[in-house]
Amino acid sequence: MAVSSCPCPKYVAALSSSFECRSDPSGTGQPGHHGRSSSSSSSSRLGAASFLGSGLGTGGCGGGMSSMIFRFPPNFVRQLSVKARRNCSNIGVAQIVAASWTNNQPAGSTPAAAAAAANAAAAASASASSLPVAEFGDEVAVVDGVNDNGNVQFGELTTDPRDVKSFLSSDGSISIHAGERLGRGIVTDAITTPVVNTSAYFFKKTAELIDFKEKRRQSFEYGRYGNPTTVVLEEKISALEGAESTVIMASGMCASTVMFMALVPAGGHLVTTTDCYRRTRIFIDTVLPKMGISATVIDPADIGALEAALDQNKVSLFFSESPTNPFLRCVDIERVSELCHRKGAIVCIDGTFATCVNQKALALGADLVLHSATKYIAGHNDVLAGCISGSMKLVSEIRNLHHVMGGALNPNAAYMIIRGMKTLNLRVQQHNSTALRMAKILEAHPKVKRVYYPGLPSHPEHHIAKQQMTGFAGVVSFEIDGDLMTTIKFVDALKIPYIAPSFGGCESIVDQPAIMSYWDLSRAEREEKYKIRDNLVRFSFGLEDFDDLKADVLQALETI
């Protein structure tokens, strides 16, 4: 808490009784503005002169900063959980204070109660090793349980994030409460999840460390291996996906590459699809072969090609986006999973375009679902992250390699994604509605040659999309009836969307893939290998008013 000067008496009187300051110009404990006796003020100061220092300023009510005396709530010390302080020692003091105290002492409590609380806290620390332990996924934290005044609603974490569905039935409620309402690794009264900014966690005694190493004790150890804030995000995503476990990483590409290396052995084989995020394809084509890993590339809807690849190779992994980028092709997840499982192959679906609200890949039979959480999950064009959800066994294999490779998500980014997910369900509904209505308008427009959107009957996998999706998300790809320059003219005439990569945020974004993602290739190469034509536009419809977006797109089309 930064204070520049002592507030005036009127302001002091307006402060809450649970946190007070007063002027003591002499610094000797004599009565100040509140008229307290010397003995009373002395005990409430808690060594304010030494805490604040004598050279922090001389302005204010004539006494300088050293005369500012703070009286914390009587139960302040007791409210600081022993284990919260141990495992989260680097949280900012302001965050701990905001998260941990509740002044519910009886009226008339004296400052002496604070000293008694301090003694109680010291006694509690002596028996800390006997406190209950909770596990979440394969990352764990020590949790105190409900403290003695009942301020913490839940003192234990669920062992399975899917348990949240026992009392929450909709994705809207789950995205708000999962990982938080049922308890978390930081014992706190705060509604929002605190940010734990620490790179390491300490052990009080070597015996505790040995118990941890020999798996008799569970705790965090190092920031790359887990963080209480990040774990809340993982639990929230697991609940939405119906997964046993989720691992979160620094970006979607980080999640993809670590997943490939963890699950496909050296000399192994994988199957993927033609339409794909280009950086993922580059990794499959150029990096995996150095490990002896080969790949078969098939059309997303070509079941016969998949069967042939499974028969001719020992396939370790099938990986595809669904819908794909940028043509929004859809894989029949249930059918593909059935075929792959017969041959012992793992199925991983990148559901970034679909979102975990519109499509439940695990429920359809996939083993893993991957997201670039940068997009719809975070939803505000302000953070990078990637995640993989699935069984504890498979996610643990990926997590183990992730701990070696690095790519840990910053806890501040995790907090931003947790906050963004509170509105995930509402945002996705708006994206779905706007994109479907705009896709129909674009398809009917004479200056648009073709529209790619799984919600349209004209889409080649519309029948599959209807079966496995509840909505078709917010990205619409379409081809302008014209050449490269005509398409550039259309894009430049748009006033609302930003010309940028990425999608899934509140702001609309538009790009021309031939320029944004494939400009380094010749026109013939990008059309022959990737089917990317000069007139292709990818439009991510944001949360702006539909009528505004409609008017903007129509006026831009009129310019060409």
Sort strands 448-452 and 386-390 into parallel, antiparallel or unpaired: unpaired
From the list 236, 329, 375, 427, the catalytic residue is: 375
Distance CA(540)–CA(538), nearest Å, equals 7
- Is there a catalytic annotation at residue 204? no
Peptide bond between residue 7 and the one before it cis (omega within 30 degrees of 0)? no
- Is there a catalytic annotation at residue 281? no
DSSP state of 159: S
**Under a CB-based contact definition with an 8 Å cutoff, are residues 558 and 522 in contact?**
no
Backbone angles phi, psi at 479, to 5 degrees: -110, 130
**Under a CB-based contact definition with an 8 Å cutoff, are residues 356 and 421 in contact?**
no
- Is there a catalytic annotation at residue 285? no
From the list 171, 275, 350, 534, the catalytic residue is: 350
Longest dimension (CA), the chain: 90
Distance CA(543)–CA(536), nearest Å, equals 23
- The DSSP string of 403-449 is HHH--PPPHHHHHHHHHHHTTHHHHHHHHHHHHHHHHHHHHH-TTEE
From the list 22, 71, 277, 329, the catalytic residue is: 277
Q: At what angle do helices 546-558 and 424-444 cross, to 10 degrees?
A: 30
Q: At what angle do helices 303-312 and 333-342 cross, to 10 degrees?
A: 20
Sort strands 20-23 and 68-71 into parallel, antiparallel or unpaired: antiparallel
What's CA 482's distance to the chain center, in Å? 40
Sheet holding 536-540: strands in order across?
448-452, 475-480, 536-540, 509-511, 498-499
- Is there a catalytic annotation at residue 277? yes
From the list 181, 224, 278, 449, the catalytic residue is: 224
Give me the half-sphere count of Cα atoms (radius 13 Å) on the Cβ side of residue 214: 7
Distance CA(375)–CA(506), nearest Å, equals 10
- The DSSP string of 493-545 is H-SSSEE-S---SSS-EEE-HHHHTTTTS-HHHHHHHH---TTEEEEE--SS-
Distance CA(487)–CA(514), nearest Å, equals 11
Distance CA(229)–CA(224), nearest Å, equals 13
Instruction: List the catalytic residues.
Output: 224, 277, 350, 375
